[in-house]
Amino acid sequence: MVRASLKVLVIEDHNDISSNIADYFQTQGASLDFAMNGEQGLNMALKEYFDCVILDLMLPKIDGLQVCAKLREQASRHIPIIMLTARDTLDDKLIGFQKGADDYLTKPFALEELWVRCNALAQRHLINCDHTLVVGPLTINKQTQQVQRDKKEIEIQPIPMQILTILMEAHPRAVSRSELCDKIWGEDTTDSDSLRSHIYQLRKAIDKPFNNPLIKTLHGIGFALACNPIKDTA
C-alpha cells in the first residue's frame, strides 16, 4: 500500500518559525498548512483532515490552550496535537497535557526531533488497532486485504481498496476529494479523472452486484458510506 505523506497544520504566529518548520518538513515529504492565530487554526483543524497539529501557546485571538481544549470538545476524532512553546516549567507542561495535548516540546527545538515526534503521534492511533474493519455489511481484513459485503468475498484493485479503507476508517464522517488524494498519492499530483476512475471501480465492485449502493457522493463535500457501523456487543 502506498504510504501517504504526513499532513501537518502549524498554528504559529511567528513567520520565521513556521518557515523553518516548512523548509525541513517539506524535504521529508510532508504537506503543511498554516494558521497565524488561534481562531483560524481552530477552524482549519475542525474542517480539514490533519495527521498532526503543531500548536504554539502564545497566539492572537485564542491562545493555544483554548485551541487545544476546544479541539478536544468539538472534533469528531482525536487529532494528534504537539504543543510548541517557550513555556518550559513543569506546571506549564502539566496544564498543556490537562488541556488535551499529546506531546509538548519547548523552544528552542531541533527540527529533527519535532519531525520524529509528529510522525510518532500520527502513527500512534495504529497501535493495538484491530486488523479487521467492520462497517455495516462491509468487512476488510487489512492484513490479508480481503473484502466482504454481506459475507460474500469481493475482488478489489489496490487503489480502490485504499479508498474503501479510508472511507471505513473515517465513517461516519465524509472524506473530501483532497483528503483522499493526500492519503493515497501524497505529494505525487494526480488529476480528478484518476480519482473518479478509481471511485467508479470501487462502486462497480462494492455496489453494482447488490441492491443498495453504499458509496455515496456528497456534492461539494466528498464521499461517505451509507451504512451504520456494527458495534461490538461482546
- Residue 20 neighbours by CB distance under 10 Å: 14
Which pLDDT score, from 0 to 100, does residue 188 have?
64
* Dihedral angle, C-alpha 90, 92, 93, 98, nearest 10 °: 120
112 φ, ψ (degrees, to nearest 5): -60, -40
The alpha carbon torsion through 200, 125, 134, 175 (nearest 10 deg) reads -30
pTM of the model: 0.61
Tell me if 93 sits within 8 A of 72, measured CB to CB. Answer: no
Predicted pLDDT of residue 191: 65
pLDDT attached to residue 187: 64
Q: pLDDT at position 19, please?
A: 93
**Helices and strands per DSSP (H, E), number in the chain:** 8, 11
> For residue 189, what pLDDT is reported?
61
pLDDT at site 164: 92
Could you give all domains of the chain from N- to C-terminal order, each with its CATH number?
A: 7-128 (3.40.50.2300), 132-225 (1.10.10.10)
Tell me the C-alpha distance between 101 and 79, whole Å: 10
Output the pLDDT for position 232.
Answer: 35
184 close to 159: Cβ distance less than 8 angstroms: yes
pLDDT in tens, the chain (234 residues): 334 578 899 999 999 999 999 999 988 888 899 999 999 999 999 888 888 999 999 999 999 999 999 999 888 778 899 998 888 888 888 988 988 899 999 888 999 999 999 988 887 755 545 578 888 889 888 778 889 998 899 999 989 999 998 888 888 888 888 888 888 887 666 666 888 899 999 999 999 988 889 999 988 888 999 875 433 333
Predicted local distance difference test score (pLDDT) of residue 230: 38
All 3 cell numbers of residue 209? 452486484
Residue-level pLDDT at 126: 55
